[in-house]
Amino acid sequence: MTAEGGHLLEVRGLRVEFPTRAGLVRAVDDVAFHVDAGETLGIVGESGSGKSVTVLSVMRLLPPPGRIVSGEVRYRGRDLVRVSDQEMQEIRGVEIAMIFQDPMTSLNPVFRTGWQVGEPLRLHRGLDRSRSLRETVAMLGKVGIPEPDRRARQYPHELSGGMRQRAMIAMGLTTTPSVLIADEPTTALDVTIQAQILELLKQINRELGTATVLITHNLAVVAGMCERVMVMYAGRIVEEGPTEEVFDHPRHPYTWSLLRSIPRLDSDHREPLQAIEGLPPDLIDLPSGCAFHPRCPFAEERCAGERPELAPVGGRRRAACWVTQAGRDLPPTGRETDAPG
Ligand SMILES: Nc1ncnc2c1ncn2[C@@H]1O[C@H](COP(=O)(O)OP(=O)(O)OP(=O)(O)O)[C@@H](O)[C@H]1O
Ligand code: SF4
Ligand SMILES: [Mg+2]
């Protein structure tokens, strides 16, 4: 909570649509979440479930023809959906920073790395060229780039993938934002570098109290890094709660299936993957009732006809499922963190 009593960042009733030739795509539907200083929130869900569209809406960076049709994005009490473009520009990158999956798409190949990383300093803090360069080099060093003064003079393609991602993080941090949103920040990197980048994000969260929103396909990453998790399916949140509780006792069959499809969270050894059966739904023509019902091993008659809303299922947990809302438990996934190896 902030001094004003609200959350630092709070999204309510967010709905995003893409009018396409094939029909109206409702990419995000009734999504709500919040983060406060020092917190870490993970967002998981299969490809196309609306994770990126959700955070791009927060930044007001939706690709056309995407549009926010309803909802609020409150940052320190102000609704970012309704502030002017100029106000948004001052918030974006200064108060709320975002790191993308592939830094090559956000770093411009024709400018030297240091010049780009220092741009927020010149633009938003009005530093001159030489002071911004000095601070940039210091920041590159802080995020673990060796020989930062030499690297600052190089072009993005002269850096390794891991170094480019660090440079992106450095750029996001130059203005000490209150919220850092990372969308699959390590997917393109090899495992060792992934771990280092995640460790860096964790360190930033701990030391600077930066509220962190992390999108990832990797449930083990969420388990190691995020206190809370929200699981998305077909543009909606189907389950949310404290990460450990959600992963130990999922209360939505989709979460349950996701957990069954991966190796154990707390071990490195590889087990055969069990894919979730069926196809992700067509967002233009969603299944009736619960959108997961055609793939759900626990579906009942009611599920095809009526859509369950996200509702409390004990403690700080919420899930959108008729079965668990009726107080029934799902069977063990065999992936519980305390299960015998
Ligand atoms: N430019 C676009 N035009 C039309 N539809 C789009 C566009 N961008 C996204 N969508 C729709 O929004 C849905 C959600 O996309 P989003 O990028 O948020 O998925 P995601 O959960 O981030 O997936 P991934 O894990 O693959 O990154 C997509 O399934 C797609 O139907
Ligand atoms: S509401 Fe029904 S179909 Fe949907 S997840 Fe729960 S049991 Fe499965
Ligand atoms: Mg995405």
Asked if residue 321 is part of any domain, the answer here is yes
Is the per-residue pLDDT at 38 higher than 90?
yes
For 131-158, what is each residue's pLDDT tens digit?
999 999 999 998 889 999 999 999 999 9
What is the model's pLDDT at position 274?
54
Cα→Cα distances 310→114, 150, 183, 315, Å: 45, 51, 24, 14
DSSP structure class, residue 92: B
How far apart, in whole angstroms, are the C-alpha atoms of residue 295 and residue 321?
A: 13
Protein residue whose Cα sits closest to atom 18 of ligand 1: 50
Cross-strand pairs, 231:
44, 239
Considering every ligand atom shown, identify the ligand nearest to the alpha carbon of residue 63 and give its number: 1
State the pLDDT confidence band at 1, using cuts at 50, 70 and 90.
low
pLDDT exceeding 70 applies to what percent of the chain? 92
Is there a single domain that holds both residue 27 and residue 134?
no
Ligand 2 nearest-atom number relative to CA 303: 2
How far apart, in whole angstroms, are the C-alpha atoms of residue 38 and residue 204?
A: 9
Is there a single domain that holds both residue 149 and residue 199?
no
For 187-218, what is each residue's pLDDT tens digit?
777 788 888 889 999 999 999 999 999 999 88
Averaged confidence pLDDT in the chain: 90
Burial of 44 (0-12, 13-18, 19+ CB in 10 A): buried
Give the domain-ending residue among 176, 192, 216. 176
Rg (CA), the chain: 21
State the pLDDT confidence band at 25, using cuts at 50, 70 and 90.
very high
Report the separation in Å between the CA atom of 203 and the middle of ligand 3, taken as the mean of its atom positions: 24
Q: Is the CB of 253 inside a 6 Å radius of any atom of ligand 2? A: yes
What is the model's pLDDT at position 195?
86
State the pLDDT confidence band at 234, using cuts at 50, 70 and 90.
very high
List the domain range (segments joined by +) for residue 132.
104-176
Asked if residue 339 is part of any domain, the answer here is no
Asked if residue 246 is part of any domain, the answer here is yes
Strands of the 9-20 sheet, one edge to the other: 23-35, 9-20, 67-75, 78-79
Here the CATH number for the domain that contains residue 297 is: 3.40.50.300
pTM: 0.92
Give the domain-ending residue among 146, 176, 206. 176
What is the model's pLDDT at position 272?
45
Q: Is the CB of 63 inside a 6 Å radius of any atom of ligand 1? A: yes
Asked if residue 331 is part of any domain, the answer here is no
How far apart, in whole angstroms, are the C-alpha atoms of residue 189 and residue 160?
A: 10
Domains held by the chain: number? 2
Q: Quote the strand ranges of the chain, DSSP E.
A: 9-20, 23-35, 40-44, 67-75, 78-79, 96-99, 179-183, 211-215, 228-233, 236-242, 311-312, 318-319
Give the domain-ending residue among 123, 154, 176. 176
Asked if residue 330 is part of any domain, the answer here is no
Average pLDDT over residues 59-71: 96
Ligand 2 nearest-atom number relative to CA 300: 2
- Which residue of 18, 54, 218 sits with most ligand 1 atoms within 8 Å of its CB, as the best mutation to test the pocket? 18
Is there a single domain that holds both residue 112 and residue 153?
yes
- Which residue of 277, 303, 313, 324 sits with most ligand 2 atoms within 8 Å of its CB, as the best mutation to test the pocket? 303
Helix (H, G, I), strand (E, B) or coil at 132: helix
> For residue 59, which of 11, 2, 116 has the smallest C-alpha distance?
11
